[in-house]
């Protein structure tokens, strides 16, 4: 019974340029099962970073393959490190017919909360083999302090 409706539903979906039936949504899911999760992964952040702290120095490592130091800007604002940049398309090849491009291009911005105040003037950044390493010394004057608890 449902089988004879599928071609007509499919035609309506194509005309509307969106799924209009459950069958269309199921077909889209099986074609790209994780497409609906893309915003979740995108909000997870690009670039991927590691943040660590040892001996009063905060270190942030960010993976930026295919970029050059000139493509990235770094700033510290409101106890957060902000990475901004742009990955440009490497050049169009007229002789190749692309059927799918999975590498991402475009601008990005990532705000990385820092575990406390840092000395911005003493911050250093190094770019090596697609990994950006930013070292930020902690501000000792703003270090966490213990608060004694009084008994009753």
| Residue 152 belongs to a domain | no
Check whether residue 17 and residue 54 sit in a common domain: no
Check whether residue 33 and residue 51 sit in a common domain: no
Q: Residue 40 has what pLDDT?
A: 43
Is the pLDDT at 101 greater than 60? The verdict is yes
| Residue 129 belongs to a domain | yes
In tens, the pLDDT along 121-144 reads 999 999 999 999 999 999 877 666
In tens, the pLDDT along 32-57 reads 665 555 554 444 578 899 999 998 89
Check whether residue 11 and residue 64 sit in a common domain: no
- If you average pLDDT over residues 22-32, what whole number do you get? 68
Is the pLDDT at 17 greater than 70? The verdict is no
Check whether residue 100 and residue 70 sit in a common domain: yes
DSSP track, the chain = --GGGHHHHHHHHHHHTS--SHHHHHHHHHHSTTGGGHHHHHHH-SS-EEEEEETTEEEEEEE-TT--GGGEEEEEETTEEEEEEEEPP----TT---S---S--EEEEEEEE-SS-B-GGG-EEEEETTEEEEEEEB-GGG-----PPPP-
| Residue 60 belongs to a domain | yes
- Residue bearing the bigger pLDDT, 139 or 15: 139
Structural domain of 59: 47-142
Q: Residue 9 has what pLDDT?
A: 63
For the domain that residue 127 is a member of, what is the CATH number?
2.60.40.790
| Residue 147 belongs to a domain | no
Structurally, the chain folds into a number of domains equal to 2
């Amino acid at each position: 019974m449902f089988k004879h409706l599928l071609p007509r539903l499919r035609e309506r979906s194509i005309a509307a340029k969106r799924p209009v039936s459950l069958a269309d949504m199921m077909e889209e899911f099986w074609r790209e099962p994780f497409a609906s999760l893309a915003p979740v992964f995108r909000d997870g952040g690009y670039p991927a970073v590691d943040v660590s702290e040892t001996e009063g120095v905060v270190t942030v490592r960010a993976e930026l393959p295919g970029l050059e130091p000139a493509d990235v800007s770094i700033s510290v604002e409101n106890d957060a490190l902000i990475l901004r940049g742009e990955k440009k398309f490497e050049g169009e090849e007229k002789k190749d017919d692309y059927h799918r491009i999975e590498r991402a291009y475009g601008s990005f911005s990532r705000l990385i909360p820092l575990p406390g105040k840092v000395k911005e003037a003493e911050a250093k950044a190094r770019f090596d083999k697609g990994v950006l390493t930013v070292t930020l010394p902690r501000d000792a004057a703003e270090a966490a302090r213990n608060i004694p608890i009084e008994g009753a």
